[in-house]
Amino acid sequence: MIVCLSKPVHGSLNPAGSQTITNLIQLVYVSQPFGFDEPTLAGILLDARRCNKRDDVTGALVCRHDIYLQLLEGPEDAVRAAYARICRDDRHAGVKELLNLKIQSRLFASWAMLHDPAKTWIWTEEEIANAVLDRAESAEIIKIFKDLSDRSGKPAVH
């Protein structure tokens, strides 16, 4: 179960008085679902959306019964805290960080957590079982999320 604590403050006020977010990162990880079913997935998404809205973290979760591939983006401290919660979450097994990049803008700025059931997935179950993600280039992994962002239509925060 993911536990959300109080909201941290990130960034600083600019001369106009609005908050400027600094130190944005994208973190991509992979894990294997533990006990994957619709109620478990719904619980993960509910927890992620609640915590992410509070912490100014956005992203997308690509999933199917054999894999979770997730991109988290936002202020570095908040993203690292979200990732630490995921690493402790017993609904994920074998959590492994794939990418950690400094960014200037977000792919999923309007999404607390976009869910994609991997209907357009590029790797087969056999490829995943044979550790294709250990050999995947960073650009290939990010392209999955860029394509998903382009298809998402940039709706209001979910």
Q: In this predicted model, what pLDDT tens digit does every residue of 55-96 receive, in sequence order?
A: 999 999 988 888 889 999 999 999 999 999 999 988 889 999
Residue 99 has pLDDT above 60, yes or no: yes
Q: Binning pLDDT at 50, 70 and 90, where does residue 18 land?
A: very low
Residue 60 vs residues 15, 16, 19, 27, 142: alpha-carbon distances, Å? 33, 32, 24, 11, 11
What does the block give as tokens for 112?
């607390």
Return the percentage of the chain with pLDDT > 90, whole number: 44
Q: What is the DSSP letter of 41?
A: H
To 5 degrees, how large is the angle CA 17–CA 5–CA 103?
Answer: 55
Average pLDDT over residues 120-137: 84
Q: Are 108 and 60 in contact (CB under 8 A)?
A: yes
